Each structure stands twice: as C-alpha cells, then as structure tokens.
Structure 1
C-alpha cells in the first residue's frame, strides 16, 4: 500500500528559490513571509514537500551559498520567529519543509573563518584548508575553482593559501577535523530540533579532499568553449572515499529523528553516484540527486537508454529520483520549447522515483534575457560568453497581471519573463488547457494511483521518437506514451486515456505531435 511507504518515496518535492517567490516588504526580493502568503498555491499543486534554497545569514557573494551562520536567518528573508511561523504554516497544510544545507564551504565572514585566518595558531585554523605555497612559490596545486581561476587564495597576513572550490569568499571547510565535523552536525541537529523535515545537501561529493592534495590530472578533451574548471579532471578534489562515512553519519542523525529525509547534490557517473546510497547496514543519503534529465539530449532514444542505465545502477535498497529544473540549470521550457515541456512534465511525474519540481516550471516560464547591467550571477560575471549564467532560471514567478506581476510592489531584483502579463498563475489557474492545470492534473493522478507513486517500472518497445513504459502496482497497470517529436506517430495503443498533455480527444492508434498520454 502507498501509505506504508515513507513519505519521501511516494511524495513530490517542490523547490522554492526564496529571493524569487514572493516579496512581502517591498524591497524587490522575496522573503519568508512572502512564501507563507503563497503556500496555498503550493498546496493546491498537490506536492508533498517544499525545499528552500539557503535562507541563512550571508553576505550574498553567491546568493546564500556563502553561509555566515548555520543557525540563523538572513535578515533580508526574515528572522527565526518568522521561520517558525512559516514552518507551522507548512505543516498545517500537511506539507513537509526541507532546508538547503551547505557543508563544503562557509562564507569568509563566518566567525569560524575570521578566527581561522587571524593566526596560524588559532584553534580554528584547521577548520579550513590552509597550505604553504607550492615549489615555485605559487598555489599549492593546480586545482581550479568551479567559478574559474585558481582554487587557492593567498592570505598575506598569515603567509599561506586557503582552498575554495567556488568563490574566494567561500573557503572550504576541513571535514577531516573532528571539531569542525561535530560543529556541522550540531548545526543540522539545531534545525531538526526546530522541526524541519530534512535537508538538501549542497555539493555533497565535494566535502573531502584527497590526502596530500595532489594535482588533478589534465583533461585532454578540454576546449576553450567549456568552463575553466574542466581544464582538469576533479579526481582528487571531489568524491573521496572518506566522504561516504560523513554521509552515513548525516543519515544516522536524520534517522534518529524519524521520518526525515536527506537529498544529496551529487554530479557523478551512475556507478559512483549509486555509492551514495550506502548499504542497508550503513545507509547514506536517501536520495542522491539525479540530474540526467537536465544533462542529456532530449530525444526518445537517449532518454530510453539513460533511464535503463540509471535504473540498472541502483542498489536494491535505493529509491530513484528525477528533476528537470533547478536554480542552477536552464529552464526546461527554454531548453526544449513549451510543447515538449508539457511532455517533460508527464515524464517527470510518471517515472519511478521521487520527482522534484522547480518553481515557475508549473506555468512554463521559458527563455529570459538578462540585460548585461542586470546580471547578478558571479559565475556568469567571472566567465562571460559561455552561456552558463544562472540568473535566467532564478527570475521571479509571475502571480498575476498587476504591477510587477504581483511578486512585489517594487522593481524585482531580476527581470521577469517577457510574457509575464499573460503567463502567470492567476491567468493559468482557470484555464483547463494551461501548463498549471496540466501539472495539477498530473499530480492529482499520481496521488490517486499507487502505480504512479510507488509502482514498478518497465520500458516498452515503441516507434522511433516515442518513449513508452508501464507502471505497475498489483493488478493495476498504467501505460505512458510520450511523443518527443513535433510530428504525429502511429502507435497501436489500447486502453482508456486517463490524461493527455494536449486539449481535445486523442486520435485512436496515433500520438499527436508533442503529445504524452497516460493509459489504463
């Protein structure tokens, strides 16, 4: 029975980027009170949990992923009392709330790092990763920041370099230090005690570095149109064996509270990705995030082989998960167009595993051009011309056709999508053919059909350009047919049509262009 499964297996997660959800105080930036005011929208969608991108105190060098206090709330978003009100409001609607935990690095303004860089003899010096210059007087090794440039910054006051996998304002924490490790676990405990239902753990595979910090091997396939980070293969700076013990300790802490869930951000090939589930005796994160629907080409043949390989890689105790959008990735409608974004919604919500939706995808926000003078993303500013800017996926939701789309009484911190006056929640809520209605219908069907929520999965042969599979629970079998082409395809399908991604009656024996069907 569905009810006997953990909530995170049968449920759906909805990611909120707090800066861009709803502004309550007129500064053009979203906040916790704004999220609380819009919870009815989230509940009406039919999801089960909310994941908030970082809301901790931060100088905002990387928009909250540079944490200055792991046990507080950034004043821009509210305060602890406001968080408690939000948490209570979330729980009152039968929803769960997950926070974004950032364990690889802190802000350079965190009191820990201020102490660490104050003196080589400070007790917190070893809470971060410091090294003497290399043999030729420069950085200790060839590691490259994910945002470009050396991963090392010189500190003249103490005569050493410190490591940062991202911005220099984000020094890496030293998880080999037991005191640091204890302090971070206590930060997680602080929020569990407050009642949060879990964490999405940022760049989990980064948190331990190889002993001795050897050079990373050069990437012989690198070309100038790729990010500078890719000049080397991150063999020694990520995915170290010792990190799995930390992941298991985090899981043990979460399990001690009962019903909590850990989602780990991990970009790795299937065989290495699967290790983050741990073993039945020593489990790790419940859901190592699977980004393959974002990373791969959008065609039926690629998706079929990718899904099969991912399913085959999972350990027997591992539960799959899927995502088509996030605060870091181009929006799905911008990548593949609105017609296929509807098909993608059906794919996401009918595959076996836990889906994560990203705010704004439910109304089909597409391409947003960010003028040069409005770019905020440090990754884009440091490596211009590569098309890697993340601002385009972080623009505010449009709620209605009023001033500033109902998001704020002031100019939003990032520009809105160009068609916001017609593409907004209010306009789509009453439209039976809208993207929002499709998402609501898909989520309602998923909730009503255990086969979609927790059933088994089997790929089915289909014509070229069509992805087909069954979901089975007991005697109940549902068929999913997805046409990933913009031309109609003859398909010998049978059964009752439960839902189509398009208006009008489906044609027997045919899939219309860009059409997805769920059949009983």
Structure 2
C-alpha cells in the first residue's frame, strides 16, 4: 500500500523500517535473534522476472533467479502479495487468501519457490493484507447482498437512513471520501484505501478467526514470517464519531492504534505466532514511541517488529535537509538505546527509487551515491530492508505523461486534480519524483530487449537506461554497485558491531556529512558518509590516518577527514 509521501507524516514516531523492543539491552548480544542479524531483500513479483512472456513477473521467474538472490548474501526475502486478486492495487486487494494470482502462477509454483529458497538458506516472509480485502472477495459479495447475511458484519456498514456517515479520509479515492454508497442494501461501506478495498471489521471475532486460519495455512506450508500490511489501522471506533475539520492532515492520529488493536495482536500471537517459528512485522507503529513499544515489547506477546515512515518521507522534489535526516535517525536510535531494536529502510514498493530520492541519479554520481546509501543502510543498528533493483542503482523511470503510469493512487489523484482544475503539469512533475511506479518498473537484468525482464510487452514500461544499468553488465565489473552491495552485506555479517554495536553520532552539525561510530566488545568502527556532490570537510576529532579501511566506494578512501563527492568509508579504529 502507499505509505510514504502522504501516509505517515508523524512527528514523534520518526523513522526507519521498524522498531523492535525487547527487555535486554540493545547493545547486548546475549539476546541474539536470527531476524536481528538478517538482511531482508524485498521482491516485487510483478516486476522481477517474467517466465512465460505475458509481460508480468511471476513465481517461476523468481525461481529462475534464486541463485542470483542467494549470491547477494541476503537472508530473508519479503515477497509482496501473490494471492488471488483483481489487481486494483497490484495485489493489495485480495479476493482469495489461500490461492495464487493467475498472473503469478499456481500453488505448485509457490511450493517450488519456497523449497528452492529454503534449499539455499533463504527465509520467506509474506505480506498479509487484512486491514481490508477486495470487494470481489466472497466475504464482501455475501456482505453486500443483504443486511441479514451472516457476512454482513465482516465489514463496516452505515445504513443510509441514519443519514450521511461522518467523513472519513480515503488515501486512494478520487474524492478522498472513505464511505462508498452501495444501492443494493441502501448503505455505505468503509474503505480507507481504494473503493475496491473495503475495510474488514476486526471487532468481529469471526473475522479474526478467519485471519488466524489464513495465517496457519501459510505457516503450515513452512513460510518464515508475516508482514501485516496497514495493520495499525485495522481496529476502528465503530461508533464512528465525528472528527474535527482538517483531521486528514494528520489522520494517523485518528486512524492508528485505535480500539482494541493490542488485544487483537495478543490474540493473534496466542493463536498463531507463538506456535510457529516465524518473524512478524507490522506496517506502521502508531503516533508515539510509547505506541511503538506497546506494539513490539517482547513481554507483551504481540509482534517482533513494526516500521514507520518518517525517515522515508524526508526526501522531497525540492531536496531535503541532511541535518533533519540525522536528527530523525539519531532520535529513534536514542529512544530505543537501552531497550529496543531497529530496522532500517529508505525505499520499498511504495517509494520512488532510492538513488533518485536520497542520492544523485546523474550519470557521473549515480553509482558512487548509490554505494554511499547502501553503506548507510548496512551500517546502522538494526535489521536492514533493501528493495530489489537498488543493488544495481536503478533510477526513477523518467515518465512524462500520465499514460505511462499504472498505480491506482497516482491515476486517481491525477483525475482529482483534473476535476478540481488543478495544475496538471505541476502534478506530473511531482509524481515524476515520488510516484510509487518509479520503484515498480521491471528489474533490469541485461541489455537485451525489455532489459531481459520479458519476451512480451511489459505491464509497465522498462526504464530507458537499462542498456547501461543492468545486472549482467555489473556482474562483470568488480567495482559495480551490485558487487559493492555484496561486499557491504558480507562486511555486516562479519562484524557484529554493525548489528548490535552502540551508535554514536559525530560532527552532528555538519550539514553535508553523516558520521557515526559503532562499538561492541572493544571493537570500534567509524562510518563516514558524504551526502553531497562536492568534497566535504569533517570534524570528528579522530585521527584516521592509521585506521584500517574495511570498505570504501572510492579506490583510495579518504585518510585525512576530507570526503570526496558521495564518498563512503568504514574504518576499524585501533
């Protein structure tokens, strides 16, 4: 679902891919967990690899690339939804939770994929989309058929004779109205996202039992975890009180962590999660640090991880402040320094490309700034989440017309701007930077037609730079962004200080460089990152002239504290 850029403009829940809280000290390795030390690689199946030539990525396509995935050194694959779906929101509108979307293949294909991953030591985490379903799910078909249907209370309905329902904001609707009138029973149903994504009624125990059954179905197949999509919104105040005018400007305050959400999660843990060796991560962490701790503290028996989005929302078309980014990451780390855990991300399927938003995608700086960002993500405390294609330094798509886009949110907002007489050229300029479709163009495997993604017509255009940015070319270049990614992942695996070590910010007021140390059991690493396209002076108070360079994105890393454009270097201090 779309979460960045509009969804979580939260001031107190800061950053990162996630927050995980546990009783032990965050810098104490006695609480080691596999999911803390893992690197998570996210695969967007529709755009990864097409096996049958229909222009849509599929499970057999992923299977054909398992050796590539293994070669990255990652531990976990997070797979975006592959369930049966009419595809209004690219699979986040599920019509059958126990079946595979025909575009992606069959259940036999899934079983083969899971077996192939496990044979290579790769774990699989699946998206669980249960804040809402598709309006084509049998539950909703039954629910809308009659006010007396047993499935009526699986969703939120407001009967028309009660008058117009209190306004609720929808992220994806053309009019941003979350109530949709349905004439069949003269009532409105609630949808926080697309009108084809009616919200499930979690206050109904039958709905919760249905979800538990779905989770057991997949866990019994042997998957290794669940990501709960938009789950912080699942619980509702079903009296539907009126909200103050303008609430949609900070709607998470009214939507997130409502009702008995924690009770539902504790029930889920008791009925499902505690019975399987699975990792659990929720999208969204509420409105405060207390919300985040309550969601994931181990002694509450709810979830392992949750991730919020302010860090991923910092980048703007007009640029962003590195001081702000440092403050956000440091504030979050500090809040969980003695009790907690972090996961780190800056890109996913709901974001534009990493290098285009936080680095510099001009040809002379693309590779070096991509490597710098990878160094950052792999050297912060916590579990890094890394999006497919970013290891190549894939860039934004460069779309110039609305006809190039496929995303329901982008298309509906364009129509809304058109309806209200908005500035369409300005809107196109903005989405060229931030639209989700930038991160959804096909994976660039080689320089052949359609970047080797498909022999057919791709469902969305391939980025025109695929002949110069592709995996086949980078495999042959030791200094490519791809091979640098592999080396940084190995560096992280070889140094527990990069996983559990204490984080200390240095040269805090430097507007151009991000510098910090990671320290554990007497081992101290210094990470220096230049976020600018010019040389930058730093003031760390540390003499690095005799330090051991563990990795750097230049052939001759800095030894005098002056960083080259987008330079990244990791030192081991003596």
Match of 2:383 among 354, 360, 364: 354
Q: Please, which moves more after superposition, 199-208 or 410-419?
A: 410-419
Cα distance in 2 for partners of 1:128, 1:191 equals 24
Structure 2 residue 16 is matched with structure 1 residue 16: no
Deviates more, 1:178-187 or 1:240-249: 240-249
CA deviation vs aligned residue, 1:115-143 (integer Å, no higher than 9, x gap): 111111111100100112376x43x1110
2-structure distance, mates of 1:265, 1:48: 20
TM superposition shift of 1:234: 4.4
Q: Given the superposition, is the C-alpha separation of residues 315 and 457 from structure 1 closer, same or farther in structure 2, using an over 3 Å criterion?
A: closer
Query: Is the Cα contact below 8 Å between 2:525 and 2:570 reproduced in 1?
Result: yes
1:464-499 C-alpha deviation (Å, 9 max, x unpaired):
122111112212111111122222233454111111
Could you tell me which residue of structure 1 aligns to residue 497 of structure 2?
451
2:445 counterpart of 1:399: yes
- CA separation of 1:283 and 1:441: change in aligned 2, threshold 3 A: same
Contact kept? 2:311, 2:329, Cα under 8 Å? no
Shift of 1:393: 1.1
Is 1:421 aligned to 2:467, yes or no? yes
Residue 383 in structure 1 maps to residue 405 in structure 2: no
Structure number with the bigger relative contact order (C-alpha 8 A, sep ≥ 6) is: 2
1:181 is matched with 208
**SS at the partner of 1:187?**
helix
Q: Could you tell me which runs of 5 or more consecutive residues in structure 2 were left unpaired when the two chains were aligned.
A: 1-27, 361-365, 415-426
Distance 2:246 2:409 in 1: 21
Q: Which residue pairs with 1:201 in the alignment?
A: 228
Say yes or no: does 1:485 pair with 2:515: no
Distance 1:500 1:252, change over 3 A: farther
Alignment partner, residue 52 of structure 2: 25
Retained in 2: the 8 A contact 1:251–1:262? Answer: no
Could you tell me which residue of structure 1 aligns to residue 314 of structure 2? 296
Q: How far apart are 1:4 and its partner, in Å?
A: 7.0
What stretches of structure 1 of length at least 5 have no aligned partner? 221-229
Mapped partners of 2:337, 2:179: distance in 1: 37
CA distance change for structure 1 residues 430 and 250 in 2, over 3 Å: closer, same or farther?
farther
**Alpha-carbon shift at residue 330 of structure 1 (Å):** 1.3
Asked if structure 1 preserves the Cα contact closer than 8 Å seen for 2:285 and 2:292, the reply is: no
Instruction: Give me the whole-angstrom Cα distance separating, in 1, the residues matched to 2:505 and 2:288.
Output: 19
Which residue does 1:225 correspond to in 2?
A: none
Q: Out of 335, 345, 348, which is 1:313 matched to? A: 335
Return the TM-score normalized by structure 2. 0.84
Q: Does 1:333 align with 2:355?
A: yes
Report the counterpart of residue 266 of structure 2 in structure 1: 248
1:128 to 141, 155, 166: 155
2:552 to 487, 497, 500: 500
Partner of 1:475: 522
3-state DSSP of counterpart to 1:24: coil
Q: Distance in 2 between matches of 1:3 and 1:39?
A: 33
Contact conserved, 2:143 with 2:155, CA < 8 A, in 1? yes
Q: CA-to-partner distance for each residue in 1:247-290, whole Å, 9 max, x for gaps?
A: 23333445424431111110644425523534332132211114
Q: Report the alpha carbon displacement of residue 380 of structure 1 after superposing the two structures with TM.
A: 0.8
1:142 aligns with 2:160: no
CA distance 1:270–1:363, change in 2 (3 Å): farther
Query: 1:89 maps to what in 2?
Result: 116
User: What's the RMSD between the two structures over aligned residues?
Assistant: 2.1
Structure 1 distance, partners of 2:376, 2:138, is 45
Q: 1:115 to 1:173 in 2, by over 3 A?
A: same
Residue 43 (str. 1) matches residue 70 (str. 2): yes
**What SS does structure 1 have at the residue aligned with 2:150?**
coil
Q: Hey, what does 1:282 align to over in structure 2? A: 300
What residue is the counterpart of 1:223 in the other structure? Answer: none
Q: Which residue of 2 aligns with 1:369?
A: 398
SS in 1 for 2:168: coil
C-alpha contact (below 8 Å) 1:117/1:158 kept by paired residues: yes
The 8 Å contact of residues 216 and 234 in structure 1, kept in 2 or not, is answered as no
**Any conservation in 1 of the 2:532–2:566 contact (CA below 8 Å)?**
yes
Contact 1:28-1:409 at 8 Å conserved across structures: yes
Query: Take 1:157 and 1:169, find their aligned partners in 2: how far apart are those partners?
Result: 16
Q: Could you tell which deviates more after superposition, 242-251 or 5-14?
A: 242-251
Q: CA deviation at 1:293?
A: 3.0
Give the conservation status (yes or no) of the 8 Å contact 1:6–1:259.
no
- Do 1:273 and 1:288's aligned partners in 2 also have CA atoms closer than 8 Å? no
**Which is further off, 455-464 or 176-185?**
455-464
Once residues 134 and 438 of structure 1 are traced to their aligned partners in structure 2, the CA distance between those partners, rounded to angstroms, is 63
| 1:342 to partner: Cα distance | 2.4
Q: Does 1:101 align with 2:128?
A: yes
Q: Is the 8 A contact 1:398 1:423 kept in 2?
A: yes
**Displacement of 1:363:** 0.5
| TM-score (norm: length of structure 1) | 0.93
CA distance, structure 2, for counterparts of residue 205 and residue 93 of structure 1: 33
Q: Tell me, what secondary structure is at the counterpart of 1:117? A: helix
Distance, in Å, in 1 between the alignment partners of 2:563 and 2:470 is 29
User: In the alignment, does 2:257 pair up with 1:239?
Assistant: yes
Give me the whole-angstrom Cα distance separating, in 2, the residues matched to 1:316 and 1:179.
Answer: 39
CA offsets 1:380-403 (integer angstroms, 9 cap, x no match): 111012625321110111101112
In 1, Cα distance between the equivalents of 2:370 and 2:483?
Answer: 14
Q: Does 1:76 align with 2:103?
A: yes
Q: Is the 8 A contact 2:296 2:304 kept in 1?
A: no
Q: CA deviation at 1:437?
A: 1.5
